[in-house]
Each structure stands twice: as C-alpha cells, then as structure tokens.
Structure 1
Amino acid sequence: MSVDYQIYDLGNLTLQRGATIRDCKLAYKTYGQLNAARDNVIVYPTWYSGQHYDNEWLIGPGRALDPAKYFIIIPNMLGNGLSSSPSNTPEPYNGPRFPQVTAYDNVRAQHRLVTEKFGIKHIRLVVGWSMGALQTFHWGALYPDMMDLLAPFCGSAKCSRHNFVFLEGVKAALTADAAWKEGWYTDKPARGLRAAARVYAGWGFSQAFYREQLDIKTLGYSSLEDFLVAFWEGFFLPKDPNNLLTMLWTWQHGDISDNEIYDGDFKAALRAIKAKAYVMPGQTDLYFPPEDSAFEVENMPNAKLVPVPSIWGHFAGGPGTNPVDVDFIDTKLKELLAS
C-alpha cells in the first residue's frame, strides 16, 4: 500500500505524564517548497480523529494556504492512527496501554520535526481547527518568538469544564459496548462506535442547523435518521476506539498553562503569546462558544476576535463541510497573512 506521507523518527519520546513512547513516530505531509530563507512556513496540525488529508480542504491554488507561496507542514497528532498510536504501537504499550499524551507533548514533538528535520527557525503562521486550534495555541505559548501569526479556529487554549463533560458522554458510549473488553477488543466494538456517533451528532452541529434541516436541504440526506446513520455513524465506524480514547484524553487535558513554564497560570500563558492572532470561534459552536474565545482574546496582547457567522456549529470550521464558511475562514487567513 502506497502512503502519501513521511515519518519522522523521534526516538524515545518521554512524555509530560512520565511514560516514554519508544521509537516514537511522527507522521507528516508537506505541501509546496521551502524557500531559501526558510521563512515561508505554515504549520497546520490535525484535529480529533482527523489525519493530514482531512486538513487538505483549506489548501490549494488561490487559497490563503497556497502551496505555490508557502511551505505547509501538516503534522499528524499522536494517537491518530498514522503517528504513534494505540493501533500501531508494539507491545507492551499497545492498545489501552498506550500512554497519556498531552497537547504539550504533541507540540514539542512537532517543534522537533520543524527545527531538526527542516532546519526551520521561523514560522509565518500556525493555524488549526478544533484540536488543531488547541495545538495552535500551544505553539504560541510554548514558542512565542518563533511565529508571526496564529489562527486558531473553532477551538480553545484550554478544555472547558462543559467541554470535558461532553467528552465524558462520548467516552461512556464507546466503552459501554460489551465487545469493548477494557480496550482489549478482538472484534470492533461497532455498537459503541455507533453510540458515540449519536452522542456527537447533537453537538457537532447547532440547534439552528437542525431546525433549518440543513442535513436534508444542504447536505442532501433523505431524513434525519439517514443523516445520523450515513454521516455520523459512517464517520465513526472506520476509527479505532483506543485511538479515539487516546485523543479524547489529550483533548480533555488540553491547557496551554499546564507545564513547567506557566505552572497552571492560564492568563500568564495567554499573555505570553506574542504572535498577531485571529481567534475565530464558530458563532454557534456548542463545544467552543465565542465567550470562551473572547476571554482568551482579552488576555492575549495581539489578538482579534473574529467569529465565524454560521449556524453550522462546530462544523463551521471544518472539515470543509460548508463552502460558505470555508470561504469566510480563507478570506480572514488571507487578511492575516497580508498584515
């Protein structure tokens, strides 16, 4: 099977919570060419369960992320099935024994890829949706002098308590399946995956999205049940449950201040972000409401709040589901890159 990505060998990666991933692998894909000055770099991390090709909707000729102008690096999150994950790590750290990975661990690993592999010292823009936004904020707080611009959209710098509770529902649904077997499943826990999909369905899109029946009128599903089965269950069924739970833990424990630099002082971590930032919450996002983004922007020295005017909820930000929202985000990224 041919693959369209590269692997960077990180060796033994010691994690924030104390475990070590031996022979740790970071999967990544690049688009465009690194210029002679090595300063046309955009880093674009992946999101919950997404892989690099799930990010490609924002890249293309004439787009803000144009490979003719920029060298775009998409690093795959640890746990996403391509980088080191429960599904591809040998014993004894396989399956449910795969260690707890933080967003801090992910961004430290990505920083090594950028600096060691490519010799890059300066980044033009870090951008990401959802958990990609979480990593974008981490880049800004952990390496404040390294980039000019940040554009986290439909995400947060710290997992809110409400967001944590939503994810508990997803976790409970996944692990309630008898086939789950505490993560040592031999057959796919399909009932758990389908149940998790149903939990997700009430949160991924907004109340207004469902009220306006956009699942039928715009996305073309034949009924609400058709949407729940074809779109949502179809989205979750191919995914590995242990991978999903690893990334879910990463999401729940996302916090740019949870490290030795900021020692839990969230406002100090936000204040340390020097890059010019467009923080773009979805106007109707049920995971990451604009109020949370407003708090972040108030505490960042060089940030602007740019809500995405959409009733598509969290999916206003991806993965390319609504062309109108794609164009809005793309236009704002062009504006930011031109500044």
Structure 2
Amino acid sequence: MASSRLAFFLLCWLVLPLGGRAQAAYPTPVPGDFTLNNFRFVSGETLPALRQHYTTVGQPKRDKAGHVTNAVLIMHGTTGAGTSFLTDLFAGHLFGPGQPLDAAKYYVILPDAIGHGKSSKPSNGLRMKFPKYTYDDMVIANYRLLTEHLGVAHLRLVMGTSMGGMETWVWGYTYPGFMDALLPLASLPVEIAGRNRMLRKMAIDLIQMDPAWQGGNYTTQPKVGLAGASSSMIVMGSSPKQMQKLAPTRELAEATLAKTEANFYRTLDANDFIYQFDASRDYNPAPHLGSIKAPLFAINSADDQVNPPELGILDVEIKKVSKGRYILLPITDLTTGHGTHSNPAIWGSYLQELLALTDKPQ
C-alpha cells in the first residue's frame, strides 16, 4: 500500500500522453503550518513541537451557525506529500470548474502526514530518535489541525490514496460522526501481512544492513541500502502491462529503471523511508469496521500489486461496513496498477456518485 514514486512515474509517462493534460484552472493553493505543542504519540513518546504542514485549495463556507460545511480532507500515500496531488492528472481533473471537487464549491485540505513532506520527520535532526509514529498518530494530528487550527468541526468528505486510503478507514471508525462520506482508494482494511509486510520489512532491512547507514547517523545517503529498498517499491507500485508497454526491450527497461532509481536517490532519505514504511505496523481496522457510520466507497484496481483482488479481503470486510460498497476497477489500457489511485479520470464518476448520495440540503 505504498504510494510509490514509480507509480507516479508510470502515470506521467503513460496516462498523460494518452489522455492529454487537463486545462481546468483552480484557485491558487495556499500553504500553511500548525504547531502541536508537546504532542503525545500512541507509543507514549512525546515531541515538544510537532509541525503539521498543509496546503489548502478554495475557501471555507459556513452555515448560519458559523460551521464550515464544505471541507474535504485528502490524504497522500507513503513517501508523498499533500502537494503530490497538485498535478494536472489529479487536481486538474478534480478541482476545476464543474469538476467533482470544484474548489469554488469545496474547501480542499491537503496535509503532509507526520514523517512526510514539510511536516516533522526524522531527517529534521532527531534521526532514529524520532518518535515511532503510526497511522493513528497521523489521523489524530490531522484531526487537531482541522479542529484547533482550521476551525473545521465536520468534513464533507474524507478520502485518500494508498496510505491515505488506509488513514481514511481509520478516520471512519475513530471519528465516525465527523464526516458525510468516505472514499479510500487503493487500500485494504486489514493488518499489513503476507507479501505486503514482507516487502516492507525487506526494504527496511536492506537499508539497515548497509554499513553506510551507520545506525541512522550517516552523512551521505546509504545508496546500496536505498537501491535494495527501491526494489520493494518497484514491485509494489508496478503494473506489468504498463511497464511492458513503457519498456518493451531490454535497453528501454534498463534505461527506465536507471531513471527511476536516480529519482529515488535524489528524493528519498533513508531514515525517513524506514519510518514511513514501518508506520503501518499496527494498522488493522478490521475489528472496528462496524463503527463506521458514513457511506463509504472503497475503490481498488484489479492490477494493483499491493492489494490484489484475488486475496478476497474486501469482498468479506466490506460487509462489516453498514453503508459500505466495494468497487473493483477492471484492468484497462489506462489503469496503472497501484498508481491508478491518482487518476480520477478513471474513478471520478464514483466520487461524483458518492457526493450525490450524501448531499444534504443547506
């Protein structure tokens, strides 16, 4: 369930050239920061000042009682950031005039999760002494960002991709009355086990086995360890069909791999990566799914190597959600495996259906 950079790489190379770039304009994104003092993590560890970075698109609208009525929370995947959504592929198909999340109508909030983007993370200085955060911590921090800083006491929609999709499940049962609708993309509501956990653990182990890692106290990135870790990311974010189209010869395959690895080396920090991939270790919504009250559409793609449909997990677990629906997108020339979560041109109609289903008279 890692929203890998390889998935985005494939989307940029394959989907945009085929479908063209969306030209719909949307309001200028506005960045912001909120400091949570003496933040206590689920582990019991504390941080004197936890920085929660975020980006907003659009403006809040209030009812007669002064309550914000149009807030939408969108959460990113592993190794990503809120700004990852500000692309022609995603925002260009969602936030423009007449689009499903038209920013003239909705107040879109894109936080950077703990350990990601410009929010507090190990590479800021604490390295491996940074608190061992989990998805629960991410959700709690976002809840406090909304309620204590942005003045949002209720959400029109909670949605997310990959890790953000998993956080969407956690939001659903942790704060069941806080939202009108839930849209988890590319995720499963069970603990991370099987191949998924093995790939994550392998990635972490390979970094820590590199002598250059030095227990997290490196001065230059442990490149051998990151190369090994990137192998897990490539498998998790891959679409065999699209990768064959992208690289039908040995020369093209190796050139594509070299570009992908170069991007990893340029953008990843080893300690941040370890924390990001291990944050899912305690994730397990399955026992709590009956507590979810809002209508929920769970959307996965049939070619997702992280959440393969043959596991049959969502077929069973969605029955525990009173207003839940499981949508499996078939493999097409446009689906890109796990990265399909970032292409609303494919699943946007389901988002529109969910919004219509939960629309309330003002």
TM-score class normalised by the smaller sequence:
0.7 to 0.9
- 1:250 maps to 279
- 1:139 maps to 171
1:151-179, CA deviations, whole angstroms, 9 ceiling, x for partnerless residues? 00101233331121121121122223221
For 2:30 and 2:234, locate their aligned partners in 1 and report how far apart those are by CA, in whole Å.
30
Q: Does 1:39 align with 2:69?
A: yes
Of the candidates 193, 203, 206, which is equivalent to residue 236 of structure 2?
203
Q: Does 1:5 align with 2:21?
A: no
1:76–1:82 Cα contact (<8 Å) kept: yes
The 5 A counterparts of 1:1-339 are: 5-37=31-63, 38-57=68-87, 58-59=90-91, 60-61=95-96, 62-89=98-125, 94-162=126-194, 163-210=196-243, 213-216=244-247, 223-256=252-285, 266-267=286-287, 269-290=288-309, 291-310=312-331, 312-318=336-342, 325-339=343-357
* Deviation (angstroms), 1:216: 3.2
* Deviation (angstroms), 1:247: 1.3
Compared CA separation, residues 139 and 183, structure 1 to 2 (3 A): same
3-state SS, counterpart of residue 86 of structure 2: helix
Q: 2:355 is matched by which residue type in structure 1?
A: L
For 1:52 and 1:124, locate their aligned partners in 2 and report how far apart those are by CA, in whole Å.
18
Compared CA separation, residues 148 and 245, structure 1 to 2 (3 A): same
TM-score calculated relative to the size of structure 2: 0.81
3-state SS, counterpart of residue 257 of structure 2: helix
1:279–1:306 Cα contact (<8 Å) kept: yes
Compared CA separation, residues 118 and 81, structure 1 to 2 (3 A): closer
- Runs of 4+ in structure 1 deviating by more than 4 angstroms, as ranges, are none
Q: 1:207 is matched by which residue type in structure 2?
A: P
Q: 2:339 is matched by which residue type in structure 1?
A: F
For 2:355 and 2:297, locate their aligned partners in 1 and report how far apart those are by CA, in whole Å.
10
For 1:42 and 1:215, locate their aligned partners in 2 and report how far apart those are by CA, in whole Å.
35
What value does the CA root-mean-square deviation take over the aligned residues? 2.1
Q: 2:278 is matched by which residue type in structure 1?
A: W
3-state SS, counterpart of residue 231 of structure 1: helix
For 2:250 and 2:128, locate their aligned partners in 1 and report how far apart those are by CA, in whole Å.
36
For 2:175 and 2:276, locate their aligned partners in 1 and report how far apart those are by CA, in whole Å.
23
1:198–1:233 Cα contact (<8 Å) kept: no
1:5–1:27 Cα contact (<8 Å) kept: yes
1:134–1:158 Cα contact (<8 Å) kept: no
Q: Structure 2 regions of 5+ residues with no counterpart?
A: 1-28, 358-362
For 2:264 and 2:325, locate their aligned partners in 1 and report how far apart those are by CA, in whole Å.
33
- 1:262 maps to none
Compared CA separation, residues 252 and 226, structure 1 to 2 (3 A): farther
1:52-83, CA deviations, whole angstroms, 9 ceiling, x for partnerless residues? 11122432204322211100111111111411
Query: For structure 1, which segment, 63-72 or 106-115, has the greater mean C-alpha deviation from structure 2 after superposition?
Result: 63-72
* Deviation (angstroms), 1:240: 1.0
Q: Which has the higher contact order (CA 8 A, sep 6+)?
A: 2
For 2:117 and 2:250, locate their aligned partners in 1 and report how far apart those are by CA, in whole Å.
29
* Deviation (angstroms), 1:47: 1.3
1:206-256, CA deviations, whole angstroms, 9 ceiling, x for partnerless residues? 33444xx13237xx9961111212124413541111111111111232223
2:161–2:341 Cα contact (<8 Å) kept: yes
Q: Structure 1 regions of 5+ residues with no counterpart?
A: 257-265, 319-324
For 1:43 and 1:253, locate their aligned partners in 2 and report how far apart those are by CA, in whole Å.
23
Compared CA separation, residues 232 and 273, structure 1 to 2 (3 A): farther
* Deviation (angstroms), 1:21: 1.4
Q: 2:341 is matched by which residue type in structure 1?
A: G
Q: 2:247 is matched by which residue type in structure 1?
A: I
- 1:263 maps to none
2:208–2:225 Cα contact (<8 Å) kept: yes
1:81–1:87 Cα contact (<8 Å) kept: no
* Deviation (angstroms), 1:195: 2.1
- 2:4 maps to none
For 2:201 and 2:209, locate their aligned partners in 1 and report how far apart those are by CA, in whole Å.
12
TM-score calculated relative to the size of structure 1: 0.87
* Deviation (angstroms), 1:4: 5.8
Q: 2:284 is matched by which residue type in structure 1?
A: D
Q: 1:119 is matched by which residue type in structure 2?
A: G
